[in-house]
Structure 1
Amino acid sequence: MTAQAVDPAPGAPAPDAPVEHRTVETVSSKAPVILAVLTGLLALLLVAAHHPGDVRFALGSSHDFFEIPVIVVPGPVVAWGGVVVMAALTAVAFVLTSALRRHVPAWVTVPFAVVGLVAFLAWAGAGSPRDLSITGLISGAIALSIPIVYGALGGVIGERAGVVNIAIEAQLLLAAFTSALVGSITRSPWAGLVAAMLAGVLVALVLGVFAITYRVNQVIVGVVLNVLVIGITSFLYSQLLVPNAQALNTTPRFPRVGIPLLERIPVIGPAVFNQTVVVYLMFVVTAAVWFGLYRTRWGLRVRAVGEHPKAADTVGIKVNATRYRALLMAGAVAGIGGAFYTVVSIGQFGREMTAGAGFIALAAVIFGKWDPLRAAFAGLLFGFASNLQSILSVVGAPVPSQFMLMLPYVITLLAVAGLVGRSRGPAASGVAYEKE
């Protein structure tokens, strides 16, 4: 029996013709919904707690190249104007996601955040005789974000290599304790900084031994390390540092170093260009981590073992060794963030003084989509939210202090709930590799 050729049906592709594959991308509406909720909450706040009067925005200081006068505007008018703009941007976001099937771009979310902040500050500062210092707001935000940014950079390096580092909080806390102890003994903040980096590396090494070598669940190891370090530092603080506070818990701090000319730029000059060496180092480390991950052979190997370790092993990359090196480097970076508490901010160690900054750093990693620059920006955002509490208390804003304490964590929840859109971490993150 011979096979007979059968003509294809009209409109059907020829047997040898290439088949066109189309990818349908699902666009989530979570971001527009969150924008709508934030707009509604601010409008509800303005209605429920009417706060009349003018608000005074101070945009500079007497040390700037030229002094910008204090801007006095009616608080309720500015606040309600901000709500209108936020509502318009929310409508644009809904149109983009529903009608055009596009993700909400940054040119919608960034102006939304800026306008919302100005509207909230206008409501909070209305009627207060004191100035709302924008320079002070930026400077305080940078100071509070330093440990978060360093922790987030360490988290990005670790997860890009395939290791989930839940122990960032432990690295920050042990680094703060070690820098206080060593800095007090040597009377040198530089020695304290180096000791803090070694403490971060020590925690990373313990994490690596259990998570990489013995293939223990990485999340469980990170949680255990957090609890362990809290217990150790609390015990040593009460038994060692408190009885010998003058000798072992009085750390010299890094002085502020102003950059000539740049520190006199209005608004941002005193906040950005009159800082300590640890702050300047943060910008250098952020750029170095980005360059290392995306422009060097080392970065290519790190990302390879984080995405597809078996394929990386096939081409000769030593997966576990690469993960160890990346994790130890991440520990050193996180250690700098822990040193900030003692050699820059306070000058002495306090029990559990990191106060959950390591967990916020983890949220910054997700918020930043595992990218160093975005994670650093997320850290700055969380530091800005934390600093709002002190600024509003200065102007006597009618906002309960408990609510302001919740604000950084609320922003964290909004971030991981989808405000930044779809986030996908490295494919092999959290998966131990065993060579067959």
Structure 2
Amino acid sequence: MSVAAPPQLGTGPGASPAASDRAPTSWKGPLTYGLLGTLALVVFAVLGRPGTSTFSVATPGDLFHISPVGVPSRLTALVLSLLCLGLAALAAVRTRQGRPTPGWVPGTFAAAFVLAFLSWAVAGESIPFTGLLQGTLFLAVPLVFGAISGLMCERTGVINIAIEGQLLAGAFLAAVAATLSGNVYVGLVAAPVAGLAVGLLLAIFTITYGVNQIIVGVVLNVLVIGLTGFLYSTVLATDAANWNQPPGLRRIAIPLLSDIPVIGPVVFNQNLIVYLMYATVVAANVALFRSRWGLRVRAVGEHPRAADTVGIKVNLTRYKNVLLGGAIAGLGGAFFTIGAGLAFGREMTAGKGYIALAAMIFGRWSPKGALAAALLFGFAEQLRISLGIVGTGIPSQFMLMTPYLVTIFAVAGLVGRVRPPAANGTHYSKA
């Protein structure tokens, strides 16, 4: 006769899970909040310069005028840094209790830290806050397109390191096509074609032949950089009038909405590429999470073998998404030339494709999250430009590092625990 083993402590029906069954607690977020909050308190408040920080928020076309807002620099920085430390304490308490930090905490912390920094940096000066937000949205455009391209690919299990090359190819072909035709919209149509061509090479080597996806992506980036650099030196630079003087997209102000103070000039007075970015984010979010197609795509990225057994063609789905992602990134590349009204320059994307990958990870493979992360990185870049114009005492070398430092801190310290699609980076074959 066998004797049943006595029940172990904590394994009864109403008992709490064993310690070994609980998800590991990550203190990365609270520690990062605490360090940044302490930095804000010491540098921005205690060691800050006395004076008044002035923020102008009005533009000439607003429905009604808002006077510039002036705040005491050190006092404002002190209050905001204490708020940052309070949020760090809240995150630490929640982490100690094994509970997730509320989603509003990172956003509130980031806003308070940035405002404390601005109060310190603009002490005794004035900065156009609406212009800062306009530049933020404008600079975030290629990052959003690049991040959406990356998540379209990775949701099916294909890592797209080639975003940098797709952006650069789109910028190149948009400039050439717009110049040759004399029509900016021809360039706007040509840009996705260039990105799609790079995406096709990525799909052939990774999906059909099973070559390592990261290696292929890096090689494609080098290929596009070399090819566009060669054509720039031999064709565009020698005959710029016929090959590299593209017209720029004009701003389109939406009636009434563009006259709303602060929000109107920022959101509703942009060029066509920005409006296409809005549509892309909305369409991607609805398609991925509110449609049958999106369910199939996510199934391929999570468990391709199970998706295959229910009749989903895994590799065909991956091909379609990689090509779609390439076209989206190519459209984002048009921002650098016809979107910004600039001629094509050698390596003009300057690593934005890699920052777009960071935005995708920071946004947790979600279109809405990617948009928020891209806006954060765009704000860091525009802040560098705006503070350089104002003429603060911050060393220019440090300001040049700002966008990349923000990228590192965001991904390494604030993103928390994230899980990419389970089949990400794996080759699938029925055999």
**Residues 165-244 of structure 1: pairs in structure 2 closer than 5 A:** 165-244=160-239
1:256 corresponds, among 234, 251, 261, to 251
| 2:156 aligned residue | 161
Within the candidate set 93, 97, 120, 2:95 is matched to 97
Amino acid of the residue matched to residue 117 of structure 2? Answer: F
> Cα deviations across residues 215-255 of structure 1 (Å, max 9, x unaligned)?
00000000011111111111100100011111110111111
1:309 has 2:286 as partner: no
Deviates more, 1:238-247 or 1:78-87: 78-87
Q: Would you say the 8 A contact 1:29–1:94 is kept in 2?
A: yes
Query: TM-score, normalized by length of structure 1?
Result: 0.94
Structure 1 pair 10/434, CA: closer, same or farther in 2 (3 Å)?
closer
Instruction: Give the Cα–Cα distance (whole angstroms) in 1 for the partners of residues 220 and 292 of structure 2.
Output: 31
May I ask how many residue pairs the two structures share in their alignment?
Answer: 426
Give the letter aligned to residue 231 of structure 1.
Answer: G
Aligned match of 1:35: 33
Question: Which amino acid is 1:164 matched to?
Answer: I
Alignment-mate amino acid for residue 112 of structure 2 = V
1:51-97 Cα distance to aligned partner (Å, 9 max, x none): 22111111222321111111112111111221111111111111111
Q: Who is 2:110 aligned against?
A: 113
Return the index of the structure with the highest Cα Rg. Answer: 1
Q: Quick one: distance in 2 between partners of 1:88 and 1:33?
A: 13
CA distance in 2, matches of 1:106, 1:300: 25
Cα distance change of structure 1 residues 309 and 82 upon mapping to structure 2, 3 Å threshold: same
* Structure 1 SS opposite 2:337: helix
Q: Is the 8 A contact 2:199 2:326 kept in 1?
A: yes
Aligned match of 1:72: 70
Letter in 2 for 1:45: V
Query: Are residue 272 (structure 1) and residue 270 (structure 2) matched?
Result: no
Kindly indicate whether the alpha-carbon contact (under 8 Å) linking 1:151 and 1:337 is maintained by their aligned counterparts in 2.
yes
1:263 partner amino acid? S
Query: SS in structure 2 opposite 1:269?
Result: helix
The answer on whether the counterparts of 2:44 and 2:116 sit within 8 Å (CA) in structure 1 is no
- Partners of 1:251 and 1:342 within 8 A in 2: yes
The C-alpha deviation readout for 1:260-315, integer Å capped at 9, x for no partner, is 11111111110110001110110101010111111222211111111111111111
In structure 2, C-alpha distance between the alignment counterparts of 1:62 and 1:262, rounded to whole Å? 15
Contact 2:380 2:402 in 1 (8 A): yes
Seen in structure 2, the aligned counterparts of structure 1 residues 5 and 115 have a Cα distance that, compared at 3 Å, is closer
What SS does the corresponding residue of 2:70 show, helix, strand or coil? strand
Say which SS state the counterpart of residue 305 (structure 2) adopts.
helix
What is the CA deviation profile of residues 327-379 of structure 1, one whole-angstrom value per residue up to 9, with x for unaligned ones? 00011111111011111103310110000000000001110111111011111
CA distance in 2, matches of 1:226, 1:9: 61
Partner of residue 126, structure 1: 123
The code of the aligned residue for 2:232 comes to Y
Secondary structure of the structure 1 residue equivalent to 2:338: helix
Question: Aligned-pair distance for 1:46?
Answer: 3.1
Contact kept, 8 Å, 1:364 with 1:378, in 2: the verdict is: yes
Residue of structure 1 equivalent to 2:326: 331
Alignment of 1:334-413 (within 5 A): 334-413=329-408
Percent sequence identity over matched residues?
50
Q: SS in structure 1 opposite 2:219? A: helix
Q: Distance in 1 between matches of 2:5 and 2:228?
A: 76
Q: 2-side partners of 1:92 and 1:152: how far apart?
A: 31
- The 3-state SS of whatever aligns with 1:348 is coil
SS state at 2:248 partner:
coil
- Over 3 Å counting, the alpha-carbon distance change for 1:295 and 1:243 in structure 2 is same
Q: Rate the CA distance shift 1:12–1:127 in 2: closer, same or farther, 3 A.
A: closer
Does 51-60 or 181-190 show the bigger shift? Answer: 51-60
Q: Using the alignment, how far apart are the partners of 2:408 and 2:5 within structure 1?
A: 54
1:151-193 superposed Cα distances (whole Å, 9 cap, x missing partner): 0000000000110000000000011001000110011111101
Q: Distance in 1 between matches of 2:267 and 2:175?
A: 25
Which sections of structure 1, spanning at least 5 residues, go unmatched? none
Equivalent pair of 2:45/2:120 in contact (CA under 8 Å): no
Q: Secondary structure of 1:73's match?
A: strand
SS of the residue corresponding to residue 343 of structure 1 reads: coil
- 8 A contact 1:176–1:340 mirrored in 2: yes
